[in-house]
Structure 1
């Protein structure tokens, strides 16, 4: 009697191979990230009513009445209306250990409130699936490798880190470093530019926290959810904005954004190469 030939044993799965549910989290993230990239590059006219309602609520949270809204067609067009608004040096004085006497400017209050909000959202992201799996022997405290998302998960990189790179930093490359920062630089020295926010180009941090809640990886307190939702709606409805005590200067979204796709496998998905605002201003995006 001839013995049956033994089949070779199937290779054991890698110890660090990501569980299916973790991989599914990333697959669900991709369309949300794409949705936010589209919002950040949008050239639709601003939804002025929605943007003004959001900012009115932000003012009310800081005990200010509804401001007068002054709409302009580009960040450059906003400059003549920003005289007297606090710049970064003024903000630094108000957040120092010994702030000036009196009532802080509304921009300072908004910045402080936003800092508290982001800390609260970070603290709420405590789902076990975000945590790192056990490190392999000998890995010590070496930094996590920077890899394409699915490869990173299979290499044992925690989902939190993959989402940080694949959503917040990726969109930051496309929308902040690729668009908002060059436009800001074209307006003059950063330290002297009044404090304002980027509207649609604030999407990187907003998208990251939106992914966490939509995937069920974070549950925000009701009060934080309400505040966060105003920042979500602002990013979906308007361009840049500068808050003053009585007047809030609002910028329409661009008329044109021309962006190149980046090679497959990269975290960032688009590289803007041209922006043109509704008054014809077209600042350079690359040196």
Structure 2
């Protein structure tokens, strides 16, 4: 029997299989276009379309049986917090308020748009999300979980977590019950994808929410009154190095990463929210006085790195030596003018033994006890070793 005849023939896709795959791929590519469009809306910094936003909010009030509110426009979420009244009603009355009725309306909408496809907004988190959605679809993965991961969760990470989260954490107080307008595109885009690709009967219920995400910033609905914030005047983001899924993070090296028309701003260094001085005036004396180690790290990087900081701060060099755990690199040990957790420390500068996601090897500073005078002993201490034991390492990581 010939090898060809003896081998079990590989099954070729049937025409119907190919048609189903083609439909899945076409829907996926359309979903990518829709996702990109919503991401652009989320990052827009043009003035709000006030007429469109007010029409959408009025329509939502009508859906919960409330008359049109009086509108108050403010130039930032921080300004809104000074304007939104705190609720003084007892709990049962609060939960009957217009904002809670709107929350129930939104929850009901998401469930109705999800149910025809098995409630995709609540698909369990995948253990191993596909790195390449098209490859996953060609391998037989169902479209629904791919859309949940690559539209809903992807926009949640890129917008709600990476942009709205830092803005919210920078506010001078709790937000109360509010909606994020342009920063709510994660669930809106996901519902919009299903509305456009599968044409649900009641999909028009999504339109007021979608119009708000296209038209305005954050908004606070209350009985008879709605406070609406303008969109930011500037939003600066960067791709996360080494990420293959389009992840973003706030970053601006010379000013605010998010700035609102009234001047209220959020500063961020490669995704870490920092005080304004870190970006605009990273002076050595400010760095020395900073108690938060992450803020201090960002300020030192903004200044030009640890070696630059050591130079401009006039740190006294205690000792230098080749790094036996990292051939070709040196260890430097310095006295520092600040304390760590209330105790005196010294600063050990070393090069990371492992490459970053972008292929570079970062120089970093490590605080060590003040009694070390030999940088090799200090490096060994960071690994729980003596200097002699560390010196025998082939290479550290």
**Both structures adopt the same fold (TM-score exceeding 0.5):** yes
Three-state SS of the structure 2 residue aligned to 1:197 is: coil
Q: Are 1:117 and 2:109 counterparts?
A: yes
Structure 1, gaps ≥5 residues long: 94-99, 128-141
Shift of 1:27: 1.6
SS at match of 1:283: strand
Which residues of structure 2 form unaligned runs of 5+?
A: 120-124, 252-256, 274-397
Distance 1:10 1:29 in 2: 38
Match for 2:71 among 69, 72, 79?
A: 69
Q: Using the alignment, how far apart are the partners of 1:43 and 1:102 within structure 2?
A: 34
Q: What are the residue-to-residue correspondences of 1:1-287 with 2, within 5 Å?
A: 12=10, 19-85=21-87, 100=92, 104-125=96-117, 145-148=128-131, 149-188=133-172, 192-216=174-198, 219-222=199-202, 225-262=203-240, 266-273=244-251, 274-285=257-268, 286-287=272-273
Aligned equivalent of 2:345? none
Aligned equivalents of 1:158, 1:111: Cα separation in 2:
31
CA distance in structure 2 between the aligned counterparts of 1:8 and 1:259, rounded to whole angstroms = 59
The ranges of structure 1 where at least 4 consecutive aligned residues each deviate by more than 6 angstroms after the TM superposition are 5-11, 13-18
Normalising by structure 1, what TM-score?
A: 0.78
Quick check: 2:113–2:195 contact (8 Å CA) kept in 1? no
Tell me, in whole angstroms, the C-alpha distance in 2 between the residues paired with 1:227 and 1:280. Answer: 35
Q: Indicate if the aligned counterparts of 1:186 and 1:284 stay in contact, CA closer than 8 A.
A: no
CA offset at residue 107 of structure 1? Answer: 0.7
More strand by percentage? 2
Shift of 1:13: 6.8
What is the CA–CA distance in structure 1 between the aligned matches of 2:37 and 2:242, rounded to whole Å? Answer: 18
Q: Say if 1:36 and 1:203, in contact at 8 Å, map to a contact too.
A: yes
Indicate if the aligned counterparts of 1:174 and 1:272 stay in contact, CA closer than 8 A.
Answer: no
Q: Distance in 1 between matches of 2:5 and 2:237?
A: 54
Describe the shift of the 1:13–1:240 C-alpha distance in structure 2 as closer, same or farther (beyond 3 A).
farther
Q: Deviations over 1:54-91 (max 9, x none)?
A: 1011111222111111111110111110122489xx8x
Q: Do 1:86 and 1:195's aligned partners in 2 also have CA atoms closer than 8 Å?
A: no
Aligned length: 255
Residue 21 of structure 1 and its aligned partner are, at CA, apart by 2.2
